[in-house]
Amino acid sequence: MKKVILTVKETTTGNNAGPKAKLDIEKFLVKDGFIKWNFEIDQHSLLQKAKTAYLNVPFFLKKHPDVDEIFLQYPTYSRIVTRQLVKRISQMDTKLFLIIHDVESLRLHLNKKDYIKEELNTFNKADGLIVHNDQMKKWLINNGISVPIITLGIFDYASDVKLSDRNSSRYPSVCFAGNLNKAKFLGNLSFKKVQLDVFGPNPLDEYGTNVSYKGQYSPDELPKYLDENFGLVWDGSTPHTCDGLFGNYMRFNDPHKASLYLSSGIPVIIWKEAALAAFIEKNNIGLSVSDLNDMDEVLSELSPEKYQQMVMNAQLIAKKSRNGFYIHQAVQKLEAKVANEGK
């Protein structure tokens, strides 16, 4: 069987974590024998996007008709490229599966009816979907998606940084990594006991008590510098809850920074209402909190024995994640589900 992993890449991405999830999935599936197909687009060039959509895509697919399955990493961040890929592949004698990295109807285009209709129609033209978790799956089904859906659980994260025991002498310490422009809540945080180390571009000029900026590193370098006891997953303007478009999106998505922490064997602290909180709690790989101002108290009450069990569990997840366990499993389940429904 001839299988393809198809990824649309940006020509310039800079030093950020944006492309890593897609590149890791591509890497893991190529190891499984998938053929790698890439198209490149310049996000700032409408002409180049149109050329890719209307010339490069149809020409390339016409040259490669003998494919059994194509797994397209969605979104491509170009609506015309997505439309042409889905249209042309649907005309081939091949199965089209979408690996969903973001549902933009739940993120940047919340409540925009025309966009939501178009995106959901795209999903229903596929033969099956791999989505983040049960909450995302439930929303899609409730909004008319009828094709088979498999949940990923968590994104895999390739890393070759040696796993080590968390540094108990720094307890309690927490790291937060991300684009700090989005992390407005950091400007309103201070702690008495917890030490919060912050990594990423666009830091504030100053932070509160026990909050320190530690610099910016590439996604592959960053794990070398994370020796904290926990990794924080939080999005919004306030420490009291996750709010705004990106805060609400946490009710449905699996933030990639959680995979960064877990692949390093670091337990996670996450917003209690996040979709991923269920995975964290079920696997005993961290804590969920409603308010970041509670962290001093919550961590002071956590026994060393309970913390070490979380570390051990996180290291088990790390070993799976570094080998592509979750995407391998999801692909196999989706193929089996589609095959069974076709009988």
Same domain membership, residue 15 and residue 80: yes
CATH of residue 29's domain is 3.40.50.2000
Give 217-249 pLDDT, tens digit per residue.
999 999 999 999 999 999 989 999 999 999 999
Same domain membership, residue 98 and residue 43: yes
In-domain check, residue 247 = yes
Angle at Cα 69 formed by Cα 319 and Cα 13, nearest 5°? 60
Q: What tokens appear for 71 in the block? A: 């797994």
Same domain membership, residue 42 and residue 102: yes
Same domain membership, residue 12 and residue 82: yes
In-domain check, residue 218 = yes
Residue with tokens 């990824």: 7
In-domain check, residue 115 = yes
Q: Could you say which residues of the chain have pLDDT below 50? A: 15
Provide φ and ψ at 147, rounded to 5°.
Answer: -80, 160
Distance CA 296, CA 206 (A): 21
In-domain check, residue 312 = yes
Same domain membership, residue 311 and residue 327: no
Same domain membership, residue 291 and residue 174: yes
Query: Which domain does 141 fall in, by range?
Result: 3-156+323-341
Same domain membership, residue 144 and residue 230: no
In-domain check, residue 162 = no
Query: How many separate domains does the chain show?
Result: 2
Same domain membership, residue 215 and residue 96: no
Residue with tokens 């799956």: 137
Mean pLDDT of the chain: 93
Output 181-188 pairs: Cβ under 8 A, ≥24 positions apart. 182/235, 182/246, 183/234, 183/235, 184/236, 184/237, 184/238, 185/234, 185/236, 185/237, 185/238, 185/239, 185/292, 186/211, 188/238, 188/239
Q: What tokens appear for 317 in the block? A: 């997840």
Helix (H) or strand (E) holding 150: strand 149-151
Mapped onto helix, strand or coil, the DSSP state of residue 72 is: strand
Q: Specify the pLDDT at position 12.
A: 59
Which residue type does 134 have? D
Same domain membership, residue 332 and residue 312: no
Model-wide pTM > 0.85: yes
Same domain membership, residue 199 and residue 302: yes
Q: Specify the pLDDT at position 274.
A: 98
In-domain check, residue 161 = no
Same domain membership, residue 152 and residue 92: yes
Angle at Cα 196 formed by Cα 214 and Cα 212, nearest 5°? 40
Q: Specify the pLDDT at position 99.
A: 98
- What phi-psi label fits residue 258: left (phi over 0), alpha (psi between -120 and 50 degrees) or beta? alpha
- What phi-psi label fits residue 218: left (phi over 0), alpha (psi between -120 and 50 degrees) or beta? beta
Give 23-68 pLDDT, tens digit per residue.
999 999 999 999 999 999 987 889 999 999 999 999 999 999 899 9
Cis peptide before 267 (omega within 30 of 0): no
Same domain membership, residue 242 and residue 143: no
